[in-house]
Amino acid sequence: MKKRVAPRVLGAVRGHRRIICVTASAALLVPLLIDRSADMGSPPDQRLQDDYTAAADEYHVPRNVLMGVSYLQSRWDSHPGTPSVVGGYGPMHLVDTRKAPAPEAPHDPARPSAAAAGPPARHADTPDKPAAYSADLQRAAILTGLPAAQLRTDDAANVRGGAALLAATQRQLGKPLSANAADWWEAVARFPGTTDKVSAAIYANDVFDVIRRGARRTTDAGQHVTLTASPGVRPHAPAAPGGSRPKNVECPPELSCSWLGAPYVRIDDDAYGNHDLADRPKDQRIDYIVIHDTEAPLASMLLTIQDPTEASWHYSVRSSDGHVTQHIKTKDAAWHSGSQFVNARSIGVEHEGFLRHPDAWYTEQMYRSSARLVRYLAKKYQVPLDRQHIFGHDNVPAPTEDSIPDMHDDPGPFWDWRHYFDLLGAPLRATAGPDSDVVMILPDYGKHKPRFTGCAKAGVPCAPHGSSAVRLRSEPADDAPLIQDPGRRPDGEDSTEDVNDLGSRVSAGQTFAVAGRSGDWTAIWFQGHKAWFRNPKSQPTAVGARGRVVTPKEGVKEISVFGRALPEKDAYPEGMDEQPEAPLPYALRAGQRYVTQSRVLGSYIDRSSFGDSPAPVVKGQEAYYEIQFDHRLAYVRASDVDVVDPPAAAGPGHPAAAPRP
């Protein structure tokens, strides 16, 4: 979540504080599926599959087209009774503009609300939200003769409404209700209602990519749905994404992007905002891409990014259609992570949404647009597609002990990291056997529904929901105390199940060294202790992984852990103050192991004054290893540890890659 921050915090820390577009070649990594008959008396958990068949037959729409559109709209989820940010309902995400309440966020007095501040400043390259939707629920009610209320709450009715709208659009285009899916590309492109031709073309191409590849998943309502692959389907003369865009924009050519710049201006003699000039990657390599959510409507955030006294970030991704707006050139450093060290080495991507209301905001269009953008940036700057380089704001290491309680918790436990990495073309999966000495946290997002509180009101249980997060306990028992974080709660308060409390949980894709096993429980080394999580073979929450680990050198009882990798004293030029080491209030003890995927050299940039050129980067020779220490990343001196390749139990995998030099 975002907070107003002073432009200068001890001269070092500047911080602020859902959906999906990916290229067709890697949008979905699913095997070709075997066809299954839907006419054999389906069980209750396959009723939605039958609904697609019935609606397709009734309105003469190819079933794979109807199901492909629905997958892009909602991944077939119902979100019962919960509208999206634009008022979309059900598996077809039919939009009822009369019923589009945005979830309320707690008011942040440090930042004016969008309503109070008025409309965002107009900019020629910042498109408005779509004014009308082809997937109009009220129109679907007229076409089907069903009450609008039924289309909002009944999946079968909702699917019928989607089929009726597709058929009506096809007729309006003067096209026949063909049984050939390839004839429906233009109708599909119009379904989401975007007025942006690039976004419409991307949407239709993604739908047809799903049709070609097939898909299968269990929905939020427990429905098992399968779309059989149709690899031979090619739409007739699809419009290729493209078009003009501002010269400042750095985006993949197939993505709809615009520019709304953040100001680099002097505020007074001692302060400036709201980012730093740099010359990356020439002066500083870009190592990380940080995933945020806004915790505010995008209109409010477009005001924030234009305020030089506020924080900043490189890109915003809109919830309704995945449109991307760039604010800062990637060569420059935004103030987005809460750590100047990470800011200097990262790109920040904000996603419109609230972590406590994922169904309303974390849309498939936003996920896909974001993944397209991040894959493009990762390729451009050679950022590895793993969870020690592509991580959330909630994984950013606190630079100092006193900053730990103020570090952020977005995009939260409901961000679907597994799906996101599928879209990145780097699927999270087992790379070793189940008894390996390293594990990757990887729960089944749809089935894994840990208890959380605080989504609507403090202490009140959240509705059960799929989650990327796995909770940790001090012993292998459900009633054992949660793992405590003395840095996050220095007053000694216990960790809780609150949706914002990161103290006792880990997240999908993170890798850890195994510290023990007991029945259905697995222990990992976490923040200097053994931390246990339930990991039954019938529904595992972690899988075997390969990876290098660090451990204190022989004879060393414990070593310091840092939130940033600073240069040694001799590296600082004359006249520049040496930065204090500031180890975190944790220790890595003899016999403990933590996974590393990067080796970095210490660096520091003195961003203390306004200027016309980048400040010099102080580069040291002291090497550090980045480790997955707890929910967040951390650093240890290379001279303090040995790096080992633990033996991997027999199973799928590939040779462990060396940490990034």
Please, is 378 exposed, middle or buried when counting C-beta atoms within 10 Å of its C-beta (0-12, 13-18, 19+)? buried
135 three-class SS: coil
Percent of the chain with pLDDT over 70: 85
149 three-class SS: helix
CATH of the domain at 307: 3.40.80.10
Q: So what's the pLDDT on residue 132?
A: 53
pLDDT-based confidence at residue 237 (cuts at 50, 70, 90)? low
Bridge partner residues of 530 (DSSP): 525
pLDDT-based confidence at residue 33 (cuts at 50, 70, 90)? very low
One domain, residues 314 and 373: yes
Backbone angles phi, psi at 422, to 5 degrees: -60, -45
Q: So what's the pLDDT on residue 196?
A: 80
Each residue's pLDDT tens digit, 242-284: 667 788 899 998 898 999 999 999 998 878 999 999 999 999 9
DSSP letter, residue 641: E
Q: Residue 171 and residue 69: Cα distance in Å, rounded?
A: 18
pLDDT-based confidence at residue 25 (cuts at 50, 70, 90)? very low
Angle between helices 137-144 and 155-172 (to 10 degrees): 90
- Assigned token pair, 389: 């380089």
Residue at which a domain ends, from 426, 445, 465 = 426
In a domain? residue 154: yes
pLDDT-based confidence at residue 49 (cuts at 50, 70, 90)? very high
Q: So what's the pLDDT on residue 121?
A: 36
One domain, residues 199 and 261: no
Q: So what's the pLDDT on residue 552?
A: 98
Q: So what's the pLDDT on residue 122?
A: 35
One domain, residues 585 and 639: yes
- Assigned token pair, 186: 């233009």
Please report how many Cα atoms fall inside a 13 Å half-sphere around the Cα of residue 564, on the Cβ side. Answer: 28
Flag whether pLDDT at 661 surpasses 60.
Answer: no
Residue at which a domain ends, from 397, 426, 455 = 426
In a domain? residue 416: yes
Each residue's pLDDT tens digit, 156-182: 999 999 999 999 999 999 999 999 999
Residue at which a domain ends, from 426, 448, 471 = 426
Give the total number of structural domains in the chain.
3
One domain, residues 220 and 257: no
One domain, residues 159 and 296: no
Top pLDDT among 651 and 248 is at 248
Q: Residue 339 and residue 397: Cα distance in Å, rounded?
A: 8
One domain, residues 384 and 268: yes
One domain, residues 199 and 324: no
Compute the Cα dihedral for 31, 32, 36, 42 and give only its sign: positive
Flag whether pLDDT at 3 surpasses 60.
Answer: no
One domain, residues 215 and 279: no
Each residue's pLDDT tens digit, 171-224: 999 999 999 999 999 999 999 988 888 888 889 999 999 999 999 999 988 999
Each residue's pLDDT tens digit, 329-341: 999 999 999 999 9
Angle, alpha carbons 229-231-236 (nearest 5°): 120
One domain, residues 223 and 281: no
In a domain? residue 324: yes
One domain, residues 279 and 373: yes
Q: Residue 420 and residue 441: Cα distance in Å, rounded?
A: 15
- Assigned token pair, 388: 């020690």
CATH of the domain at 85: 1.10.530.10
Average pLDDT over residues 35-60: 81
Please, is 282 exposed, middle or buried when counting C-beta atoms within 10 Å of its C-beta (0-12, 13-18, 19+)? exposed
- Residue 290 lies in domain: 252-426
213 three-class SS: helix
Q: Residue 376 and residue 387: Cα distance in Å, rounded?
A: 17
Give the DSSP H or E segment for 346: strand 346-351
